[in-house]
Amino acid sequence: MSDSSPQPLSLHQRILNDIQQLILTGTWQPGHKIPVEHELMKQYNCSRMTVSKVLTQLAHARMIERRRKSGSFVSRPHSQSAVLTIPDIKTEVAALGVPYSFEVLHKARRKATAEEREMLGFERAVPVLEIECRHLAGERPFCFEQRLINLDAVPEAAKETFEETAPGAWLLQRVPWTLAEHRIRATGAEARSAKLLGIDRGAAVLTIERTTRSAQSTAITFVRLIYPGDQHELVATFSPERVGRPAQ
């Protein structure tokens, strides 16, 4: 529970910590009425803005529910949810303490198929760049990447060799601040994936598919990342304690 940072906590941080502690330890059960703002003002000898800031943050984090005229109440915890961060591949490999490398296996320019048009929401058969890559952790195949890039959205990609920078990282530099939808599932490796990952055909692989869109909701890229199932693990931590902590 102690904080390694030397600086004293601000007043609203202290109030936030106090209330969170009471909720997380179960001292204040779901449904418990939080003292009204005026009581908290007296208790902490502070202004209303300060307690309001705290309660607003807790409400955003869904730990409390606020109702006019009635007051604020500890929420019923929403079901077992997780906040999962999927890091980029280079970061994942680096975390293993193994040298990272990648190779481009295939690169071709073509028109989007009908299926792709539907999946990515293209109005017409836009030109796309199809790329296949293999990412390696040391000598070992780490991930097989199949990617489609919308060349209408990112025409520079057509001339890029992707020798220096893998397509994912390259795109992130050029088209920042996209929205993404992920789909994660387990499948049996088909022939090509199995061969490239050095595993048996039909062996379990973890498949992550991501469609990335710009703020205007144009599909920028679709990528399928295929990981050998027994070597890869997504880890997610759900901790309500993070609420309102400054992002660093």
Give the residue, chosen from 2, 4, 5, 7, that forms a contact with DNA under the rule CB under 7 A.
7
DSSP string covering 162-200, please? Answer: -SSS-HHHHHHHHS-S-EEEEEEEEEE--HHHHHHHT--
* 58 SS3 class: helix
Q: Which does 247 bind (CB under 5 to 8 A by kind): DNA, a second copy, none?
A: a second copy
CB-nearer residue toward DNA: 72 or 193: 72
Which tokens hold the place of 54? 């705290």
Which tokens hold the place of 169? 């990282």
Dist CA 137 CA 143 (whole Å): 9
194 close to 200: Cβ distance less than 8 angstroms: yes
Q: Which does 230 bind (CB under 5 to 8 A by kind): a second copy, DNA, none?
A: a second copy
Binding region for a second copy (CB under 8 A): 21, 23-26, 29-30, 49, 59-63, 76-77, 79-88, 91, 168-169, 172, 175-188, 202-207, 210, 212, 214-216, 227, 229-230, 232-241, 244, 246-247
Dist CA 125 CA 166 (whole Å): 25
Give the residue, chosen from 12, 135, 147, 210, that forms a contact with DNA under the rule CB under 7 A.
12
Binding-site ranges for DNA (CB under 7 A): 7, 10-13, 34, 36-38, 45-50, 52, 55-56, 59, 66-72, 246
